[in-house]
Amino acid sequence: MGLGCAAAEEGNFGMAGMHGSYAANMAIMECDLLIGLGVRFDDRVTGIVSEFAPKAAIVQFDVDPAEINKNVRVDYRVCGDLRWSMPLFAGQVCAEGGRLKQRFLSWRKHLIGLNREKPLCYHKDDKVVMPQQVIETVNDLADKDAIVVTDVGQHQMWTAQFYKFRQSRRLMTSGGLGTMGYGLPAAIGAKLGQPERQVILFTGDGSIMMNCQEFATAADYEVPVKVIVLHNHVLGMVAQWQRMFYGQRYSQSLLNGKTDFVKLAEAMGVKGYRVDRPEQLKPVLEEALAFDGAVLVDVMVPDIEDVLPMVPGGKRLDQMVLGDEM
């Protein structure tokens, strides 16, 4: 056993919300100014709404007036397209220049300390492949400007936590409706739209069954998407809630099907690989990412691994379940 931790990079504090990093969630709770750009302030972001960002003046930028004050009461609102509102705002900030930078140095130092104190971590095991380990290994091997797509579930959260996005507009995910099955068609569309870029899909064994027939589309039209299945035999996010809050009374979340994803993909003309031991992970991913065509990599991961931190329903962002390793 060992411990894997995401690097706590200066200035990169991760996402905030239900599965946000410790530093990001504490920043929301402690800040005196919060600026939301096109954010809906839904319950996955806020935790208990009445105690969200209690010390902050909140500014909300949104093109849709119906979103302003819908969930969180804000102090200042800017209703309009970010293409004109943000340059005006940025111009005002830049005019302050060095004075603002000096004022924020102590705040940044505080957040960097929080990030180092409680980074995103997970237990490594030399006998099983951990899902976070898969994300980190793909991150190390993938092209630096790769487009990453996810379906919906635990793999989606682990991707947000452990994949180091180096450029904007490189993540496609169903973050609003939360639609299982979104991933493979979206990945094919991304590759057709940006054929010069590597396109990688992280999905789960539940999500991939929603639109697995699109492997035939990828093969027939020679769309070389790379599909990584985190295969844990459960609907991971549902099972996590049932495990943590419902006494492990699992209902309709255990996937005991006998589908062989490698054979399924190969039957449709897509190259298939399987990984079930840690020593296989890197060499198989290297081969799969270098393969000139569509690929599925079916990676067996534990069925009881939780996405942490986690803010339980009805709790504040600073009331996170962190886990023993954090």
The CATH classification number of 126-300 equals 3.40.50.970
The model's confidence at residue 13, banded by pLDDT at 50, 70 and 90, is confident
CB 226 within 8 A of CB 295: yes
Residue 270, C-beta contacts closer than 8 angstroms, at least 6 positions apart: 215, 218, 219, 227, 293, 294, 295, 296
The number of residues making up the chain comes to 326
Helix (H, G, I), strand (E, B) or coil at 157: helix
Write the CB contacts of 120 (distance below 8 Å, at least 6 apart in sequence): 5, 6, 14, 21, 161, 162, 326
Q: Give the pLDDT mean for 79-103.
A: 87
Same fold, 2-117 and 126-300: yes
* Averaged pLDDT score across all residues of the chain: 93
The contacts found for 167-174 with CB under 8 angstroms, 24 or more apart, are: 170/145, 170/146, 171/147, 172/147, 172/148, 173/149, 174/150
- Provide mean pLDDT across the span 205-219: 98
Place 217 in a pLDDT band, splitting at 50, 70 and 90.
very high
Q: Which pLDDT score is estimated for 252?
A: 96
Q: Rounded to whole angstroms, how far apart are CA atoms 60 and 35?
A: 6
Q: Give the lowest-confidence range in 35-44, 108-117, 216-225, 316-325.
A: 316-325
Q: Is the dihedral of CA 116, 153, 323, 19 positive or negative?
A: positive
Q: Which helix (H) or strand (E) holds 219?
A: helix 214-220
Mean pLDDT for 213-235 is 98
SS3 assignment, position 201: strand
pLDDT score for 93: 85
Residue 107 has pLDDT above 70, yes or no: yes
Q: Give this prediction's pTM.
A: 0.92
In the numeric block, the tokens 């270098």 are attached to 290
Query: How many Cβ atoms are within 10 Å of 70's Cβ, its own excluded?
Result: 15
For residue 267, the model assigns a pLDDT of 98
pLDDT-derived band at 324, boundaries 50, 70, 90: low
Question: Is the CATH number 3.90.950.20 carried by domain 2-117?
Answer: no
% of the chain surpassing 70 pLDDT: 96
What's the average model confidence in pLDDT over 92-100? Answer: 79
Among 10-19, 85-94, 218-227, name the most confident range.
218-227
Instruction: Label residue 326 by pLDDT band (50, 70, 90).
Output: very low
What is the pLDDT averaged over residues 148-161?
Answer: 97
- Map out the domains of the chain as residue ranges: 2-117, 126-300
- Is the pLDDT score of 182 beyond 70? yes
Phi first, then psi, for residue 84 (nearest 5°) are -110, -30
User: What average pLDDT does the segment 223-238 reach?
Assistant: 97
Amino acid at site 182: Y
Q: What is the mean pLDDT of residues 152-156?
A: 97
Q: Is the pLDDT confidence value at 325 over 60? A: no
pLDDT value, residue 234: 97
pLDDT in tens, 235-269: 999 999 999 999 999 999 999 889 999 999 999 99
Report whether 134 contacts 281 (CB < 8 A). Answer: yes
On the question of a cis peptide bond just before residue 65, with omega within 30 degrees of 0, the verdict is: no
What is the DSSP secondary-structure string of 69-109?
TSSS--SEEEES-HHHHHHHHHHHHHHHTHHHHHHHHHHHH
